[in-house]
Amino acid sequence: MNVSSERPHRPALLLGFFLLLHVLNQVDRNLIASFGPEIVRDLGLTRTQFGIVTGIAFTAFYAVTALAAGVLADRYGRTRILAVGLGVWSAFTALSGAARGFLSLVALRPFVATGEATLIPAATAILSERFPAARRATAIGIFFMGVPLGVGASFFLAGQLGPVLGWRGVFVLLGLLGLVFVAGVLALKDRRTPGAHDEELPERTAAAVLADLGRELRSNSDLRLSLAGAVLMHVYLAGGPFVKLWLVEERGFAGDQIAVTYGAMVVVFGVIGAALGGTMADWYARRFRGGRAMFLALFVAMLAPLIIAFRFADPGSLLFYAGMAAGILFFSSFYGPAFAVMQSVTPQRLHASVTGLSMLLVNVLALGIGGLVIGIASDALMARGSQDALSWPLIIADLVSLLTILCFARIGWRKWRTQEDSNL
């Protein structure tokens, strides 16, 4: 498939293929969370061990590889790195089905993470170049539909295939499926549009890209704020691996039933959020001052009361499900506007590298350390006899994540003032 053609349908086909890969990426990543109670019981894991497996054992390696993949993609091209990554994460997802205890499972997770980390830096950089700026948030938002579709599908598969194949069989099946797509990635042709500064840097070694990235970080406060906002939002997702444990053990739902229900909610509201976030951000930026950053701050502020209410509402009540939907809209609508803002405040020559850096920071600070802290805090509260040992750590994580509003509001306010000054 030659994606270098300028015919209008080619970018759409490329976007559809990347969306499919992103769904598979998220399914494989979240299978442990979707089978959380079963894996904890089968392997005899504590919540701290579960937090390590779903958190730092995955995210630390994901983070380092994401930055490396971004830098290498800007230096050598994207599709080769992505093909290798897809093969690695798929193979080790299948091998995870053979884990017999904490040590074997935790030893396999870094390899899954290393492969999966190649997708987002490569795909977002390519999409940012294939779609015009006016449609960039929409395109990236559609690509990030892979998050809710993948998370939802992982819970759905746990509820539907789990009773038939067991959690081990589902891991093997999904891993083998991913290997089929490696050939499709290898068929893609990478085309980069040189940035204005590329002529000044004919020899772009990895060290040169990193040095350039460091200079940009020191001088670009909007880039720093967008990275901070991304990290804070993902503190909410640090509680994601614990959601089924929380729903089953502290809210009284049956495991298979709530897995299907939650999976369906993630698919429906996640797709709505991903589509709404990107398209509404582009619409807002064309009509109002403050751009996509201000839209994102306002939208999350509207969702915040329901996100908090979710943790306190009676299980099964209308408010409970409204809060669940709001939380799904929060993370699914975030990516299109946030990554469009991040790309817009960054020189094109650093697009993949900045995306990789954001993945490093998100996975170490938010998902890795955040998930570990939630697990440790929950075990400590359980040891004291608390009946809400997961609820309180998750509530605190929710509150921290909402600080992302301040970061993007600040970027939006600066843009608002700049646009106002330009009209004087």
**pLDDT tens-digit readout, 156-213:** 888 888 888 888 998 999 889 888 888 888 877 665 544 444 444 445 666 777 888 8
Most confident listed range (143-147, 265-269, 326-330)? 326-330
Q: Supply the DSSP string of 65-85, one letter for each residue.
A: HHHHHHHHHHHH-SHHHHHHH
Q: Average pLDDT of the chain?
A: 83
pLDDT, tens digit, 9 for 90 and up, residues 90-111? 999 999 888 888 898 889 888 9
Going from N- to C-terminal start, the domains of the chain cover 9-189+205-417
pLDDT, tens digit, 9 for 90 and up, residues 259-298? 778 888 888 898 888 878 878 888 888 888 888 899 999 9
| CATH superfamily membership of 9-189+205-417 | MFS general substrate transporter like domains (1.20.1250.20)
pLDDT at 396: 95
pTM equals 0.70
pLDDT, tens digit, 9 for 90 and up, residues 349-374? 777 778 778 878 887 888 878 888 99
pLDDT, tens digit, 9 for 90 and up, residues 9-54? 477 888 888 999 999 999 988 888 888 888 888 888 888 888 888 8
Helix (H, G, I), strand (E, B) or coil at 5: coil
Helices (H), 288-365: 291-312, 318-344, 351-361
Contacts from 96-100 at CB under 8 Å and sequence distance 24+?
96/31, 96/32, 96/171, 96/175, 97/167, 97/168, 97/169, 97/170, 97/171, 97/172, 97/175, 98/168, 99/43, 100/43
6 confidence band (pLDDT: 50, 70, 90)? very low
345 confidence band (pLDDT: 50, 70, 90)? confident
